[in-house]
Amino acid sequence: MPNGKGSTFTWANFDSDFLLDILDSGKAPPDCKPSVDTDDPAFLATGLNRHYPKPDEAFVTRFQKEIGRYFFGKYPDKLREVMDAPKDIDINMYAASLRDDFERQPMTADRAKKVAAVLLSVGCEGEEAPSRFAQRPPVVNLRDSSANDFNLFPFQKDAIANLQDAFLQKGKKTGMLVMPTGSGKTMTTAYFLLRYMISIGYQVVWLAHRHMLLNQAAGAFYDNSPLIKLHPNSTKERFQLICVSGEHEGIKSVERDDDAIFLSVQSVYNRLDFLESVLREKLIIVVDEAHHAIAKTYLDTIRFIQDRNENAKLLGLTATPIRGYIDKKEDSVPNRQTAYLQKIFGWPPIYDISMGKLITGKFLADPEVERIETGENFESSISKDEARQMAQLNNIPESLAKKIADSKKRNNLIIDHYMKNRDRYKKTLIFALNTVHAQTLHEDLVKKGVKSGCVYSGNPMENNKIIEQFRNDKLDVLVNINIMTEGSDVPGIQTVMLTRPTGSDVLLMQMIGRAMRGSNVGGTETATIVDFHDSWDRYNYWLNPEWLVKAEPEPLPGVAGVAGDTVFIPWAVIRAAYDKAQSGSGQLNSSIAMPYGWYNLVKDDEDYVLLVFEDQVHGYEELIADFNTSGLPNGLNEVMNKYFGGFCVRPSEKDLEVFLSNLSQGTEPPELFQFNDRDEIDPQVVAEKIRKENLNIMTYPDELFAKYPIIESLFGFLPKYRERIFHYMNYPDGRGPGCAVVPFPETARLPFEIDGAYDVEQLMQEVIDEQFGGTNPGIRSIRWTDRPYQSRYGQYIQVALEDGKTASDILINLLLNSSQVPREVVKYVIYHELLHRNYWRHDPTFRKMEHQYPNYVELERFLDYRLPRFYDFPYWDDNNREKKTFPPRDIRKDAEAQYNLGAMYDGEGVEHNYAQAFYWYRKAAEAGHSKAQNSLGSMYDKGEGVEQDHAKAFSWYLKAAEAGNAEAQYNVSVMYETGDGVDQDLVKAAYWRDKANKAFQKKR
């Protein structure tokens, strides 16, 4: 009976005679019967699954006779249990009599429970078939087994030869095998280890992060264990293996006699001591999916084994070569992640073959990924329990799968898409969400005249028959759940349709792999992967098939063996982590909060990824330095305030706790890994790239926004991202006016004194009394920053407390604690931060509330225009990292960029802001930009963003008109004609109108 872990019930696992008897009894709802005559259990069960998702006492009582007549007729052994028959009787002899008794006797509650449990045991299934390695498999007697070699592909032979040379001839202790998805990486490794290492006494410790990977690897070893006998010096007479994970045996079951030990790292991380006594002298550690080796769970496990066996060899397996260099230059150095992987496994790989070569050699099919948007969004129906399961398992829980599977619109789209492309798709394998979904799609295809089959777990005899029909081309389509992910060899599959989202790279690889067999090995030239993609906003970590099948880029010149940049953590994961940090750490200033990288940590024996923002790097580095020298303050809050007490994204208390725990437990501090593509989206880098390469400043940001989803999380929306880039076009530090930021040098160079003029707590109380009626609950503290900052004037921070509640802190820039800064200016900044209690973003509602503060225009003018004049504008980085240099300014390009930014604030691409539009128009106008001069005149003319002044409007119109701007020439003529801003002069009006007309005609 299934253990209940991941199991589901379906009536499709029952005999068709039993199902027909129930449906024809007149006791079942009319819509239970399928719309077509059939004896296929999958069809017959569809309605029953809907009305009776599980058998209960009421169902048993209702269908008592049908259960006795047909069900117990097929399962007489179950009848003994229900009727309490003596164990020593021949059940087959007395079955008919017992069935009669069952049908005639009144149904008691106790008997109904027993019958329901029996029905449940027969009808239960899991998404995965029970693993044959859940318990220790029988020992293989090699003396009685037949040692048959089998053909390997040429590239597999090359890989094995290289492994032999490296580990056995040259005595290497570390190495990496790089073979893409679908190339037989696991089988190649198993062949090498069985024939050439286990055969001479080596023990294998295989590390993986998924129990499915353990099953796959264990199967390759167990089924091919007779290869051991092919080694001429082998004297082994038996082969023994064990799998250890939450789905298999426990670590205490491992024995020294085990030739291959397959370990789920997370399940043994805190029980490594049990390995010490079972490790042999001749030992090789294999890390499946080697890029996981930088995780602390893996590193500690590997180090534990190596510390106890200094001669242990280490082999890493991966489908993705080590990639990722900081920039694309010949003298580029590897980033920290690449360097760390090289440190673990060495470089270059022992063997490396690209997907491109295997496709060219026709060993793999050329994959073509088609992404079909369903337009469906199921997030509004996700329960708290489902959300918790998704967070823990990174996969679709069964209850949510049912909601998706029941979407008629989605199912119709899948069927219609196949029908439109069936001639092109040819032999097609469809992966469905669950049994009901598979049945529904299968039934709909049959109605359309498609030769379709449907397989699901719990029906092995029928499955084998249907799969054989599909293999022999008697079926065009096979619909399944996970039956076809492994162990079913069907050549010639042209298309795989993925109708289920998944966060499991293993499962996704297995589904895609069904179509990746190339034409030289009985497959096809091309493989079509059709991904049906729903709309996911919050839970957007489902893997994209294109990420797995995309061929590697060509190696960079001058960097042997390296193939360009890659991001080992998908952007979707970064975005999820960013959103988590944003919700837990208070308001983030997107102008400075760029994701820098991550720490791989461990929490409760599981890998824990801690996202690190640019402005946090300095804090973490100082924290590590003090931990190793002077020590840390007592208390989490004290550590938080010391190292993240300035203007930065404060880590959540949970993140900081996990970091400190890892720091105190490890022999080395956690390693910080940098995102490789970070600079691709950095507004400052983008601005300089636009300058140097003369890119279109209006369209290039749009391209980046579409390419990198993280930009939306960082900046909120595209216009805000454009704005940041434009600011960097005009200021070295990107600090445009109105950004609540102020560049300045270090304290010692400030020409005005920070003299401690104000008590910030007293000022906040004044603001609360004057603007909030004396109460503004939830503010835990307000304080000055530890030093003056260039980044912003204030920051509102929400802090998650242990009891699940939140508190709020406010930081005010120490720069403002000066008698040269008016008292009301500081209070206005405090008021601004207090508003963030109720308004998260600087949206129109926030601005409306902000502008209710008395005399806000003059206070903002001081902050935006007067305060910066107290000092120079040298670029100074808050984190004291390497100073950035900038190329000489091109005044004409600056003016054009300033005009474009003004035009955007004037209603062309960002939120309408007359004050900002006026500011940028004026900057460009003063530099001689005629369009900006005309626009500035218009703003004075209409009183938009500035007090109306017709004389100034005429002055700017005239400058632009004299520079040849036709629109300005027309405006000048109108002002001469009306006498607004200038003495009326009809002659001059006619003169300028004539010039304007000629200019307009010339443009046409």
Q: Please give the pLDDT value at position 534.
A: 83
Q: Please give the pLDDT value at position 337.
A: 56
Does the structure show a pLDDT above 60 at 58?
yes
Q: Which tokens in the block code for residue 314?
A: 């280490």
Does the structure show a pLDDT above 80 at 948?
yes
Q: How far apart are CA 319 and CA 599, in angstroms?
A: 23
SS3 902: helix
Does the structure show a pLDDT above 60 at 799?
yes
Q: How far apart are CA 977 and CA 958, in angstroms?
A: 14
pLDDT in tens, 348-365: 899 998 877 888 888 888
pLDDT in tens, 816-835: 888 888 999 999 999 998 98
Q: What is the dihedral angle through the alpha carbons of 510, 513, 514, 519, rounded to the nearest 10 degrees? A: -170
Q: Extract the runs of DSSP E, i.e. beta strands, from 423-471.
A: 428-431, 452-455
Q: Mean pLDDT, to the nearest integer, of 333-338?
A: 50
Does the structure show a pLDDT above 60 at 511?
yes
pLDDT in tens, 61-88: 999 988 888 777 766 767 777 777 665 5
Q: Please give the pLDDT value at position 57.
A: 86
Q: How far apart are CA 746 and CA 287, in angstroms?
A: 49
Mean pLDDT, the chain, rounded, equals 78
Q: How far apart are CA 30 and CA 34, in angstroms?
A: 10
DSSP annotation of 712 reads H
- Evaluate whether 435 touches 10 at the Cβ level (below 8 Å): yes
Q: How far apart are CA 496 and CA 490, in angstroms?
A: 12
Q: Please give the pLDDT value at position 88.
A: 56
Q: How far apart are CA 679 and CA 681, in angstroms?
A: 5
- 843: confidence class by pLDDT, cuts 50, 70, 90: low
Q: Please give the pLDDT value at position 416.
A: 95
- Residue 136's contacts (CB-CB under 8 Å, 6 or more residues apart) are 242, 249, 253
Q: How far apart are CA 70 and CA 18, in angstroms?
A: 5
DSSP for 967-997 reads: HHHHHHHHHHHHTSSS---HHHHHHHHHHHH
Q: Please give the pLDDT value at position 28.
A: 87
Does the structure show a pLDDT above 90 at 206?
yes
Q: Please give the pLDDT value at position 729.
A: 75
User: What long-range pairs does 76-85 form, CB within 8 A, spacing at least 24?
Assistant: 78/118, 78/122, 81/114, 81/118, 82/111, 82/114, 82/115, 82/118
**Which of 97-101, 240-244, 888-892 comes out lowest in average pLDDT?**
888-892
In the sheet that 606-613 helps form, which strands lie side by side, from edge to edge?
606-613, 595-603, 672-674
- 279: confidence class by pLDDT, cuts 50, 70, 90: very high
**Closest by alpha carbon to 982, among 950, 948, 960, 959?**
950
Q: Please give the pLDDT value at position 301.
A: 93
Q: Which tokens in the block code for residue 755?
A: 């003299």
**Closest by alpha carbon to 874, among 754, 752, 735?**
735
Classify 572 in phi/psi space as left (phi over 0), alpha (psi -120 to 50) or beta: alpha
Does the structure show a pLDDT above 80 at 575?
no
Q: Which tokens in the block code for residue 965?
A: 């701007």
Q: Mean pLDDT, to the nearest integer, of 206-211?
A: 84
Does the structure show a pLDDT above 60 at 883?
no
- 745: confidence class by pLDDT, cuts 50, 70, 90: very low
- 141: confidence class by pLDDT, cuts 50, 70, 90: very high
- 756 or 263, which is more confident? 263
Q: Please give the pLDDT value at position 866.
A: 63
Q: Please give the pLDDT value at position 506.
A: 58
Q: Mean pLDDT, to the nearest integer, of 668-673?
A: 80
* Three-state SS sequence of 25-93: CCCCCHHHCCCCCCCCHHHHHHHHHHHCCCCCHHHHHHCHHHHHHHHHHHCHHHHHHHCCCCCCCCHHH
Does the structure show a pLDDT above 60 at 402?
yes
Say how far residue 352 (Cα) sits from the centre of its chain: 27
Degrees to nearest 5, angle at CA 918 with 917 and 922: 115
pLDDT in tens, 630-652: 889 888 888 988 898 777 777 88
Residue indicated by tokens 């060509």: 554
User: What long-range pairs does 144-148 form, CB within 8 A, spacing at least 24?
Assistant: 145/225, 145/226, 145/229, 146/226, 147/226, 147/227, 147/228, 147/229, 147/230, 148/226
Q: How far apart are CA 547 and CA 630, in angstroms?
A: 45
- 980: confidence class by pLDDT, cuts 50, 70, 90: confident
Whole-Å CA distances, 221 to 204, 316, 490, 566: 11, 17, 22, 32
Which DSSP helix (H) or strand (E) runs through 806? strand 806-812
Q: Please give the pLDDT value at position 660.
A: 92
Does the structure show a pLDDT above 80 at 727?
no
**Which of 231-240, 365-374, 668-677, 738-747 comes out lowest in average pLDDT?**
738-747
Q: How far apart are CA 210 and CA 445, in angstroms?
A: 34
**Which of 247-256, 574-583, 802-811 comes out lowest in average pLDDT?**
574-583
Sign of the torsion formed by the C-alpha atoms of 359, 223, 262 and 133:
positive
Q: Please give the pLDDT value at position 666.
A: 67
- Residue 98's contacts (CB-CB under 8 Å, 6 or more residues apart) are 72, 76, 79, 80, 83, 85, 91
Does the structure show a pLDDT above 80 at 777?
no
Does the structure show a pLDDT above 60 at 392?
no
Classify 945 in phi/psi space as left (phi over 0), alpha (psi -120 to 50) or beta: left
Beta bridge partners of 724: none
- Evaluate whether 481 touches 432 at the Cβ level (below 8 Å): yes
Work out the burial of residue 764: count CB atoms within 10 Å of its CB; fewer than 13 is exposed, 13-18 middle, 19 or more buried: buried
pLDDT in tens, 413-466: 999 999 999 999 999 999 988 888 888 899 999 999 999 999 876 565 677 788
For a pLDDT cut of 90, what percent of the chain falls above it?
Answer: 23
Does the structure show a pLDDT above 60 at 875?
no
Which DSSP helix (H) or strand (E) runs through 856? helix 856-861
Does the structure show a pLDDT above 90 at 763?
yes
- 601 or 555, which is more confident? 601
Beta bridge partners of 969: none
Q: How far apart are CA 815 and CA 740, in angstroms?
A: 13
Does the structure show a pLDDT above 60 at 548?
no
pLDDT in tens, 576-617: 555 555 444 333 343 446 777 888 888 877 777 788 887 788
Q: How far apart are CA 889 and CA 577, in angstroms?
A: 38
Q: What is the pTM of this model?
A: 0.54
DSSP annotation of 857 reads H
Q: Please give the pLDDT value at position 316.
A: 94
